[in-house]
Structures are given as structure tokens and as C-alpha cells.
Amino acid sequence: MSTKEKYWKYSLITIILGLGIILFRQITPFLGGLLGALTIYILVRNQMFYLSVKKKMKRSLAATIITAEAILCFLVPLALVVWLAIVNLQNINLDPQAITAPFEEAAKIIKEKTGYNILGGDIISYVISILPRIGQALMGGISSFAVNMFVLVFVLYFMLIGGRKMEQYIDDILPFNAANTQNVIREINLIVRSNAIGIPLLAIIQGGVAMIGYWIFGAPNILLSGFLTSFASIIPMVGTALVWVPIAAYMALIGNWFQAAGLAIFGTVVISQLDNLIRFIIQKKMADIHPLITIFGVVIGLSLFGFMGIIFGPLLLSLFFLFVDMFKKGYLDGEGSSKFLN
């Protein structure tokens, strides 16, 4: 390669990297929608190929049908969740006292029994003052969510239209041989399918079971508590205990010892163990992911990708270890770089 050809090559690489960084910074607000589109595409790609190849349906029609299916199956349930969040946020903005009342009552009981006031007037005033701001910030997040849902539908449709060409193009530019490329694709499919199906399924089941427990033992605001329990199920290690433990503690403070003990036992024996059981089944049926990869992957992913990090965080960590293993086999075990890359 001549000096001029080297100059052209490295100049082009520099331009590509520079433009890539600029574009990535600009599309960061829409990253959730893009990753969501990729997730749903992986889940429905076989269906798209079935309709367009085996059934000879026009790709545009098949893409429209599957996009509509994705909206009904994925986006409508999400919209209902967002609607529930909006209703509760409105309650916070209209009546902050309703949120602080249980804490004030618990603090009053503690003061009567111990003589120590854990909630001073200044603390309560401060909490009441920031609740509307928290609600406004969350409402801003909901607006961003709506924009990302539009991006998701738009991008998903065109990913379905050009699916085969897109996959072939990605396959051509990946710096791996055929075997390693298949390993990477298989890892992506397994983890995305496992997390995209397993995590929402786990959240729905745990939230539903928790609501039954809250109803049996007379917990306050059953619907909101179940909603929060569903979301808490995605948090590594502590999970749903972040919700049912404070509720049980509050019920004990107000004198409902029997109900508090029952809820604590129900949470420990049923809700928490249900988490372990469902995760075990999902791992056996879909992808046998090491628990540490899931835990640290979710922690890393949430900070990088937001909510979609619960799917793509573990994927990122799994791919890192896969690439390390590929490097080891290709260069350190004596198999040679040509076998690794060609």
C-alpha cells in the first residue's frame, strides 16, 4: 500500500469516527427508542421472514402488520403503565399531604414510644416543597418516553423492511470469521430474548402476586404498591424488598402487628422466592446467564442506556467476555490470527 493510499485509508477512518461521535451525541436522547426497536426486531424477525419469504407477502404489508402487532403487544401495555404513573403524579401535585401523611403518622408513633422526633417541621416542609418538582421532572421523562415510542415505531418499520440487507451488511463489516460471527449473533439473540421476555414477565408476576399479599394483609394503596413492586423487581439483589419491607414496617408502627408479620412472611417466602424460581426457569428455557453478569450488567446498563439498560447492560457485559474468549482462542492459544479473523 502506497503512502497516498495509507493517507486516504486513515483519513477516511478519522472522518468516519469523527462523524460517528457527532451523530451519536445527537441521537443520545433517542437511544431508548432505537434500542427498543432493535429489541422488538430481534423478537419478531422470524415472523417477518415467514410472512415475506414463505407466504410471499409484500414486505411493506408484512412490516405494517408486525409493527401494528408490536404496538398492541408492547406499546399499549407500556402506555397503560405510563397512564397509571401520570394519575399518581397528578395526585402528588394536587395533594402532597396525602403522600407525607403516612410518614408523619409513623413518625408520631415513634415519638410517642421513644421520645425522639425523626421528622421535624422543616423536613416535612422541605419534602412537600420538592414533591411537585419531582412530579414535573417525571412528567418530563414521560414526554421523552412518548417521543422515543414514536422513534421506536418509525425505526422498527424500516428495520423490518430492510431486515435481510441490514443483517448481511452488519455480517460483512464484523471483523470475525464465520464461526465467531455466529457466536456473536447467537449471544445477542439469546440475551435479548431472555431479558426482553423474562424481565417484564418477572415484573408482572411479582407485582400481581405482591398485590394479592397486600390485599390479604390490608396494605395501603394496593394498586400503587403493586406497581412499585413490579418496577422494583428489576433492581439487582434487593428487588421487591425495597417495597414490601417498608410497607410491613409501616403497618407494624401503626399497630397492625399481625398484618405486618403476615406480610413480612409472605414477602420473604412467596415474593422473594418467586423471583428465584422464575429466574431459574427463564435461564433454563432461554439463556443460562451467570447471575453476576445480570446484576452488574443491569447496574452498568441503567446508567448508560436508561430503562433499556436492563436488557442491553447484561448484553454488553456478556459480549465483552465473549470477545475476550475469542481473543484468547484466536491469539493466545496458538490458533493464529488468520483463523480468528478470516
When pLDDT is averaged across residues 279-287 and rounded to a whole number, the result is 65
Give the percent of the chain with pLDDT over 70.
Answer: 75
The number of CA neighbours under 13 Å toward the Cβ of 252 is: 11
Q: Please state the separation of Cα 105 from the chain's center in Å.
A: 35
Closest CA to 92 of 119, 122, 121, 130: 130
Give the percent of the chain with pLDDT over 90.
Answer: 4
Classify residue 326 by burial, with Cβ atoms within 10 Å: 0-12, 13-18, 19+: middle
Q: Please state the separation of Cα 285 from the chain's center in Å.
A: 20
**341 confidence band (pLDDT: 50, 70, 90):** very low
> How many other CB atoms sit within 10 Å of the CB of residue 155?
19
Average pLDDT of every residue of the chain: 77
Closest CA to 223 of 232, 211, 212: 211
pLDDT at 339: 43
**116 confidence band (pLDDT: 50, 70, 90):** low
288-312 pLDDT, tens digit per residue, is 666 677 778 877 877 777 777 777 7
Query: Is the model's pLDDT at 87 over the cut of 60?
Result: yes
Query: Is the model's pLDDT at 122 over the cut of 80?
Result: no
Q: Taking the chain, what is the end-to-end CA distance rounded to the nearest angstrom?
A: 20
Residue whose C-alpha cell reads 412499585 in the numeric block? 228
Residue 17 grid coordinates: 469516527
139-152 pLDDT, tens digit per residue, is 666 677 778 888 88
Cα separation, 235 vs 269, in Å, equals 19
33-71 pLDDT, tens digit per residue, is 888 888 888 888 888 888 888 888 888 898 899 999 888
Reading phi first (left if > 0) and then psi (alpha if -120 to 50, else beta), residue 219 is in: beta
Residue 54 grid coordinates: 414463505
Residue 323 grid coordinates: 470477545
Question: What angle (nearest 5°) sits at the alpha carbon of residue 134, between those of residues 214 and 299?
Answer: 70
pLDDT at 86: 67
Contacts 24+ apart (CB under 8 A), 194-197: 194/282, 194/283, 194/286, 194/287, 194/289, 195/310, 195/311, 195/314, 195/315, 196/39, 196/40, 196/42, 196/43, 196/311, 197/43, 197/282, 197/286
Query: Is the model's pLDDT at 228 over the cut of 60?
Result: yes
Q: CB neighbours of 299 closer than 8 A, spacing ≥ 6?
A: 236, 313
174: helix, strand or coil: coil
